[in-house]
Structure 1
Amino acid sequence: MELMTKAKNFESHDLLQAQEQLWNHIFLYLKSMSLKCAVELGIPDVIHNHGGSIAHPELLAALSLPPSRSPHLRRLMRMLTHSGFFATRRSRGSGDEEEEEEEDVYLLTPLSYLLVNDNNSLSLSPFVLAMLDPYLVDPSSSMSSWFRSCERTPFQMVNGWGFWDMAGRDGKLNRIFNDGMASDGRFVMDVVVKEHGDVFLGVTSLVDVGGGIGAAARAIAETFEIRCSVLDLPHVVENIAADGVVEFVAGNMFDRIPPADAVFLKWILHDWNDDECVRILRRCKEAILENKKGGKVIIIDIVVDLEKANEIELLFDSLMMMLCGSFERNEKEWRKIFREAGFSNYKIMPVLGVRSIIELYP
């Protein structure tokens, strides 16, 4: 009764504004699904191949869509334009001057350029498709059931297996996930090698732990002439052809990591709990000490800022909870596992947007 009395004291415009905010949260998933649709249809590639802009009728034809889909495509593009993925302008058609109507012309933006696959090694389209695949999205609808269960993660509750076990069993999940991580690797390493290459000074050998199909290791090897290898599970690397640039080693980071001057961990440790991270880092320390050159561990991961944590950090933290049962760490939490693993010093450089480069020394 008291709550109802308080609610009646709110102004109508405040409640209407609150309702709009509620609706925004309810229907926000449609923005993600519209993005997925655009990538699957290949809309960014079509616009790029058409010189960076294309009229609505030409886009419909280039996508080989039936004419009946024209108004629906217009609505999809309106949503994506509103979200900043495309820009639009009006242009007159090519019909009779008296009958011609203005047509929407769609243009790429910096945001949609990141989704262009054609001759764009920085394309993040595979990452979009991986993160929005039903395998990764569906567990989010079962969070309330998971909170009442004894399962480790919502992913395991929905699929019957943990995320990494499922990736080893399901070829589709393995492929889309590794393709997604490779696209992220190419993107972030383009920044690292151009602007923060000093982290690799003095390094002659490097092992990329959990490096998937080798996108990050290849960028390092080709730029700095460092002998690079990738350590990953057998089902990840067994079908990758040798190319003379990167060596692929089948193994388990919890058992042994090949010796090298540097061990590289890109977006690996946030997948695991503290005890598991300590085990991994101890293997890293063994690897660099076995090489007898001092060495270091290079980590690319999120370091949560407790004073001003942003929404992306919180979203990734929720994703880790759903998929792996892990979490994103602040500096104090990182320092704890570094010390427990026996490392003496570290340096955090918040230079990659939401992610940081961490150098860890034995």
Structure 2
Amino acid sequence: MMSCVANLAPDQSPGVDEGEDRLRGKEGPRNAAPAAGSSEGLREEMVSQLLEEAKTSGSEDAGRLPEAPDPQPPQEPPKKEPQAEVAPEALCLLDRAAALEADGSQPVAAHYLRIHALEMLLTAKQRGQTNAESDKLLFATFEKAEEAKAKLDLSRGAEQLRHFAVQNYEQAVSADGGPADAKQAWDLLTAGLCLDALAQFGAVEPALKERAQYAKSRAEHLRSCLRLQRAPEAPQPPQQPLAPAAPAAPAAPAAPAAQAPVVPPPPPRAPAAPAAPDPPAAPAAAPKAQPKPSAPPPSRPTAVVPQAQPAPVPAAGSTLSASKRQAEARKKADQAIAAVAAGSDDSARALIREAIGLLQGL
């Protein structure tokens, strides 16, 4: 600031002196001193004005707040790409199978529910709807199914599964009718899927198909009502009776019982004829058994059973690294899916077993 004043003062003094000389005319050195004093007064006024302007500008700058930056709109987080999820219907069946095994009431029905869930997981994998979690669940489900198959008596599996599926459906439908409830929707969905599982044993009868479709659509309706917070419509289950179809399964063992009375008539004829000597003829078969010791011994050792051991497969897998074994197991699983699509269930099971053998010990 002082440098600005020093620069202005010399430039301003000639102009002030010349103005004073014009006003005073020819007044000589008598008025020279006052003129000098007046020029100094003008300089002081100019200096004071400059100082005031500097103070006011400084105070305004000090009082002015810095302008805030323009607010930027909040950035949305990056959207995650959708990942394949495990089929919820397969999880529903697996939960139901685990519950049946836990209480020990329906182990055979639980086994076939797990088989149906396994087929659903294989179908999802074939469509590309799979991830590491679903693949792990697929192999675990297959192992459990194989373990149960070796322990259970599945001779009446179709009959037992049908009895359970129909009973489970009737319980779920009878509990329906109140406000929308998540548990009720889940029970109805499970009932419909259990009826669908009967397709393992062939075509499902139309009455059961209709009930399965109703149970699943009713479950979806209840879930929709829960989302929209509204009252559900009154249930309208199919009315076609299933009573005749239920006894049809136990009627099958009754057929041999009807044949049993037919057998008694021949015995009275047997005493009339010398049928008694016929039993001794049975020992005559004993000499026929004599060639058996000669023929079977060579035939059994000659069978190349020890040579056909599947030991080389695990041995080959054991020589591979962990990553190569995983890749080979995945390849076997893909081949199993193709076998299922082609209708070759036996080949699919064999390929799944090979895949599990490759994954063991990892």
Q: Shorter-chain TM-score category?
A: under 0.3
Instruction: Give the helix-richer structure, 1 or 2.
Output: 2
Larger Rg: 2
TM-score scaled to structure 2, two decimals?
0.20
